[in-house]
A and B are shown apart, each in its own frame.
Chain A
Amino acid sequence: MPQLDFSTYLPQIFWLFVTFGVLYITMAKVALPRIGEIIEERRDRIAADLDQAERLRAETDEAIASYEKALGDARGEAHNIAQSTRDKLATKADKKRKEVEARLATKLEKSEAKIAKMTDNAMAEVGDIATTTTASLVNLLLGEDADSKHVSQAVKAQLSH
């Protein structure tokens, strides 16, 4: 069994020390610090990127909020303008309608008065005509003129009921 050949122990152990020593020094002084540095750098970079992403997201949220607010304001203003315009127009239309109504009422009153007057006139004329006719009839029937006062009284009495 070659493992028990003690004459090979010293060279094995000597070269173990030499090679492992070189390996240890290279790892400890060069290789591992470099790997650690790069891993650290990457970790920092990722953390920084995440921070920036977080900040940008906050900014975006803020922008969206202010946009929403502006939109809400504009909508409210538009609503107000529409409302006031509608009110103004309604008032104006109301006023005009009232004017027209008043004018129509006046005209109606005047016309009614005129009609009433005309009716009165007509009635009066009906009385005259009746009186004249009655007088003529009396003249024809009796051959003499009737007292005009009596005639008109009689006609009036007849007409009044």
Chain B
Amino acid sequence: MAVTEDHGPMAQFKITTYKEINVGGYDISFTNSALMMVIAVVAIVLFTILSMRGRSIVPTRMQSLAELSYEFIAGMIRENIGSGGLKFFPFVFSLFMFVLVLNLIGLVPYSFTVTSHIAVTFIMAMAVFLLVTIYGFMKHGFGFLKLFAPAGLPIYMYPIITPIEIVSYLSRPLSLSVRLFANMLAGHTMLKVFAGFVIALGFFGVVPLVVIVMFTGLELLVAVLQAYVFAILTCIYLNDAVNLH
């Protein structure tokens, strides 16, 4: 087993079971993915609670950072949804921090990128989709269906526009989850492929090494950017449910 261990670019995405748990025939084993999620949650909780321990009017550096992330998401909600979206603030904040920290942890060598798995990103995107749909129907009743028939169009446009709107609405969870998952997958695979060249090229391995260093910087940007994109798209989708236009 150890001899044939896979060292290819995809090996980093392998789910390793640390402790097998089986409840009622369902496999809920504690894996490296679960460990990273636990680490991320502990990190976020410590960051948001410990940094505010001083509760000072003039903030410390860490408190400033926590307040900055709070204001960042609050501003995002205010701009994209308005005051009606404030009840979703904890959800969007948790989602943003969760994705952000998981993306960043994934950049640490020998760690594991939870968000590079479609199972996780799809469930998160599905949660956003269901939240928007259920809240939309709860708030507007069947009037929520007006989302698929934008007002102010010539009557003959509706047979064309409505199916397009429905398809684009239903494809949201897919596009949201695949965007995050594919970005993480592609970036990390690329880093691994270039890392393989470093050894294979011997002395000239310096060239891919430099490329890796630059790509790591780019990946850092992508990690933050994808968390931002996930959060802002969530806001834009929630806006449909809160303020039916």
Contact with B along A19-53 (1 / 0, CB 8 A): 11011101110111011101101100100000000
Q: Which residues of B have CB within 8 Å of A30?
A: 49
Q: Is B116 an interface residue (CB 8 A)?
A: yes
Residue of B nearest to A19 (CB): B37
Asked if A16 contacts B94 (CB within 8 A), the reply is no
Asked if A31 contacts B31 (CB within 8 A), the reply is no
* Interface residues in B98-146 (C-beta closer than 8 Å to A): 98, 114, 116-120, 123-124
Contact with A along B7-45 (1 / 0, CB 8 A): 000100111010001000011111101100110110011
Seen from chain B, the residues whose Cβ lies within 8 Å of a Cβ on chain A are 10, 13-15, 17, 21, 26-31, 33-34, 37-38, 40-41, 44-45, 48-49, 52, 55, 57, 59, 63, 66-67, 70-71, 89-91, 93-94, 97-98, 114, 116-120, 123-124, 181, 185
Asked if A9 contacts B119 (CB within 8 A), the reply is yes
Asked if A3 contacts B119 (CB within 8 A), the reply is yes
Residue of B nearest to A20 (CB): B98
A8-B31 CB under 8 A given contacts A3-B116, A24-B94, A31-B45: yes
Q: Which residues of A have CB within 8 Å of B67?
A: 35, 38-39
The 7 A-B residue pairs whose C-beta atoms are closest, nearest first, are: A15-B34, A28-B90, A31-B48, A19-B37, A8-B15, A14-B28, A2-B13
A35-B66 CB under 8 A given contacts A5-B15, A11-B31, A12-B117: yes
Asked if B44 contacts A41 (CB within 8 A), the reply is no
Asked if B37 contacts A38 (CB within 8 A), the reply is no
Cα distance A3–B199 when bound, in Å?
27
A11-B116 CB under 8 A given contacts A22-B41, A31-B45: no
Q: Which residues of B have CB within 8 Å of A45?
A: 57
Q: Which residues of B have CB within 8 Å of A39?
A: 67, 70-71
Q: List 26 A-B contacts (CB under 8 A).
A: A1-B13, A3-B117, A7-B27, A8-B117, A10-B27, A11-B17, A11-B21, A11-B28, A11-B34, A12-B31, A12-B117, A12-B119, A14-B26, A15-B28, A15-B30, A16-B123, A16-B124, A19-B98, A20-B124, A22-B41, A23-B97, A24-B90, A27-B90, A34-B52, A34-B55, A38-B55
Closest Cβ–Cβ distance, residue A100 to chain B (whole Å): 84
Tell which of B37, B41, B70, B118 touches A32, judged by Cβ atoms closer than 8 Å: B70
Residue of A nearest to B74 (CB): A36
